[in-house]
């Protein structure tokens, strides 16, 4: 009886997860939801059969994870059945390095008319784009946090487009100046991330919306899983991306009547831009030590902050450099007749979201802690408290042993 009851509850849990997943996907995919519906129902039927065999719970969980990974995997777009690129204009922000730089080259090669924004026209990234790409590509010097730069970019783009609208805006520019725990992160770090990742993206999106509405075009935004998942030591960066995600999702609803499709891409961890520069992490470490309050530094300890710097640098150094998965996803979002609302681009991203969405919080928290920043050193104050606790416990044990020994002696004396 107990075995049957356990099987029943496993069955109910699995079916609830997958039926909920079906409903969730259908509601999120307000366009062409049939492929998602078929895939989830097929997975549901398969696991329902597994449950009837009374398989152990861990096998069911493995099946869930495998189904999630298969579902979230994305292939390169089939250009034969995609929208034509000729005559379509795309503006991409943050093309000095990283995703934006590679995407600008790729979209130019596909025949798009590309407007690539960079921070420095004389920089190596801008020069390479001008040297290697076709005459269709235009490089614009734009700091998206400066309204005058954004307005000038709009004027230059309009002048070149003429009466034609803008097919797509790819919001790629971003910044991560966060370093360490939320309490240790400087207020300037929070403001810096918000200024670029949220307000900068907000500014350029609002400026170019009339051109996008005119073309019934698309907005593709490169966000981050840290905007949805509580990664340790990424509070400033994650908060800015969370604000960005909410803005973009709200915009998606509001622009639907205009025929503008809005997509968010959640990439995995890749080694791009400053993240691959060890001097960057050294500079961040130095700035933090110079500006943190003495009392806070005493409570956490320099060795704790030093370990965080080393973990960040190590994580960046081991991250993959091949960004083709992200670039393929950007292309798919631009040329697909029915782009998805959200894409996961990178190994393991779909699994992270699955664990965060469907498993208990305690398990998902442990998963993120083990996945990203594996801290070994405790803050100095906690180490002191633990040491005092051990000493106190040791003294109590000694006292108890002495009392026990004394009682035994008394018993022996009494027997004599």
Q: Which residues contact 389 (CB under 8 A, 6 or more apart)?
A: none
pLDDT at position 416, please?
47
Q: Which residues contact 217 (CB under 8 A, 6 or more apart)?
A: 165, 166, 167, 168, 169, 211, 260, 261
- Ranges 257-271, 361-375, 376-390, most confident: 257-271
Q: Which residues are catalytic?
A: 237
Share of the chain above pLDDT 70, in %: 71
User: CA 307 to CA 180: how far, in whole Å?
Assistant: 10
Tell me the average pLDDT of the chain: 80
Residue 151 has pLDDT above 70, yes or no: yes
pLDDT at position 359, please?
82
Which of 33-47, 95-109, 249-263 bottoms out in mean pLDDT, i.e. has the lowest?
33-47
Which of 125-129, 216-220, 228-232 bottoms out in mean pLDDT, i.e. has the lowest?
228-232
pLDDT at position 80, please?
52
Residue 136 has pLDDT above 60, yes or no: yes
Closest CA to 304 of 280, 328, 323, 288: 288
Beta bridge partner(s), residue 141: 118
For residue 290, count other CB atoms closer than 10 A to its CB.
8
- Ranges 69-73, 103-107, 278-282, most confident: 103-107
Closest CA to 200 of 326, 99, 272, 93: 93
User: CA 342 to CA 332: how far, in whole Å?
Assistant: 12
Residue 168 has pLDDT above 80, yes or no: yes
Residue 412 has pLDDT above 70, yes or no: no
pLDDT at position 175, please?
85
Residue 92 has pLDDT above 50, yes or no: yes
Residue 74 has pLDDT above 50, yes or no: no
* CATH code reported for the domain at 86-371: 3.40.50.720
User: CA 103 to CA 329: how far, in whole Å?
Assistant: 10
Who wins on pLDDT, 55 or 129? Answer: 129
Task: Band the pLDDT of 33: cuts 50, 70, 90.
Answer: very low
Share of the chain above pLDDT 90, in %: 44
Task: Band the pLDDT of 67: cuts 50, 70, 90.
Answer: low
Using one digit for the tens of pLDDT, what is the confidence trace for 272-322? 766 666 677 788 788 888 888 999 989 999 898 888 888 877 777 777 778
Who wins on pLDDT, 269 or 133? Answer: 133
Mean pLDDT computed over 363-392: 78
pLDDT at position 27, please?
45
Task: Band the pLDDT of 34: cuts 50, 70, 90.
Answer: very low
Task: Band the pLDDT of 137: cuts 50, 70, 90.
Answer: very high
For residue 353, count other CB atoms closer than 10 A to its CB.
19
Task: Band the pLDDT of 75: cuts 50, 70, 90.
Answer: very low
User: CA 373 to CA 380: how far, in whole Å?
Assistant: 18
Contact 234, 248 (CB under 8 A): no
Closest CA to 272 of 224, 232, 200: 224
Q: Which residues contact 65 (CB under 8 A, 6 or more apart)?
A: 351, 354, 355
pLDDT at position 264, please?
97
pLDDT at position 346, please?
82
Mean pLDDT computed over 69-98: 75
pLDDT at position 356, please?
83
Who wins on pLDDT, 78 or 33? Answer: 78
Who wins on pLDDT, 201 or 18? Answer: 201
pLDDT at position 310, please?
81
- Antiparallel, parallel or unpaired: β 261-267 and 342-345: parallel
pLDDT at position 140, please?
97
| SS3 per residue for the chain | CHHHHHHHHHHHHHHHHHHHHHHHHHHHCCCCCHHHHHHHHHHHHHHHHHHHCCCCHHHHHHHHHHHHHHHHCCCCCCHHHCCCCCCCEEEECCCCCHHHHHHHHHHHHCCCEEEEEECCCCCHHHHHHHHHCCCCCEEEECCCCCHHHHHHHHHHHHHHHCCCCCCEEEECCCCCCCCCCCCCCCHHHHHHHHHHHHHHHHHHHHHHHHHHHHHCCEEEEECCHHHCCCCCCCHHHHHHHHHHHHHHHHHHHHHHHHCCEEEEEEECCCCCHHHHCHHHHHHHHHHHHHHCCHHHHHHHCHHHHHHHHHHHHHHHHHCCCCCHHHHHHHHHHHHCCCCCCEEEECCCHHHHHHHHHHCCHHHHHHHHHHHCCCCCCCCHHHHHHHHHHHHHHHHHHHHHHHHHHHHHHHHHHHHC
Contact 323, 99 (CB under 8 A): yes
Mean pLDDT computed over 187-197: 93
């Amino acid at each position: 009886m107990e075995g049957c009851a356990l099987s029943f509850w496993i069955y109910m849990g699995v079916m609830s997860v997958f039926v909920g997943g079906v409903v969730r996907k259908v509601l999120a995919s307000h366009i062409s939801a049939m492929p998602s519906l078929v895939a989830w129902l097929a997975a549901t039927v398969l696991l329902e059969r597994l449950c009837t065999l009374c398989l152990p719970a861990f096998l069911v969980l493995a099946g869930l994870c495998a189904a999630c990974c298969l579902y979230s995997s994305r292939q390169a777009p089939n250009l034969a059945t995609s929208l034509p690129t000729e005559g379509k204009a795309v503006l991409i922000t943050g093309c000095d390095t990283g995703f934006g730089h590679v995407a600008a080259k790729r979209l130019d090669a596909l025949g798009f008319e590309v407007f690539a924004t960079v921070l420095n026209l004389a920089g190596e990234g801008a020069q390479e784009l001008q040297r290697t790409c076709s005459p269709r590509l235009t490089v614009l010097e734009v700091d998206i946090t400066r309204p005058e730069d954004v307005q000038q970019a709009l004027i230059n783009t309009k002048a070149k487009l003429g009466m034609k609208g803008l097919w797509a805006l790819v919001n790629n520019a971003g910044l991560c100046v966060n370093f360490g725990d939320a309490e240790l992160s400087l207020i300037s770090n929070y403001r810096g991330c918000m200024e670029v990742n949220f307000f900068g993206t907000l500014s350029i999106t609002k400026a170019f919306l009339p051109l996008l509405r005119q073309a019934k075009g698309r907005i593709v935004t490169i966000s981050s899983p840290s905007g949805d998942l509580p990664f340790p030591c990424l509070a400033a960066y994650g908060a800015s991306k969370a604000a960005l995600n909410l803005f973009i999702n709200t915009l998606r609803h509001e622009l639907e009547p205009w025929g503008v499709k809005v997509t968010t891409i959640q990439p995995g961890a890749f080694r791009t831009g400053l993240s691959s520069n060890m001097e960057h992490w050294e500079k961040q470490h130095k700035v933090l030590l110079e500006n943190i309050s003495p009392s806070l530094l005493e409570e956490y300890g320099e060795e704790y902050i030093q370990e965080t710097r080393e973990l960040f640098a190590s994580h960046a150094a081991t991250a993959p450099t091949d960004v083709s998965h992200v670039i393929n996803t950007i292309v798919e979002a631009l040329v697909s007749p029915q782009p998805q609302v959200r894409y996961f681009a990178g190994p393991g991203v779909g699994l992270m979201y699955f664990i965060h969405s469907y498993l208990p919080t305690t398990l998902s928290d442990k998963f993120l802690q083990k996945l990203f920043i594996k801290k070994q050193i405790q803050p100095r104050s906690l180490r002191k408290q633990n040491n005092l606790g051990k000493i106190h416990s040791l003294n109590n044990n000694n006292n108890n042993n002495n009392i026990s020994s004394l009682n035994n002696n008394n018993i022996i004396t009494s027997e004599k």
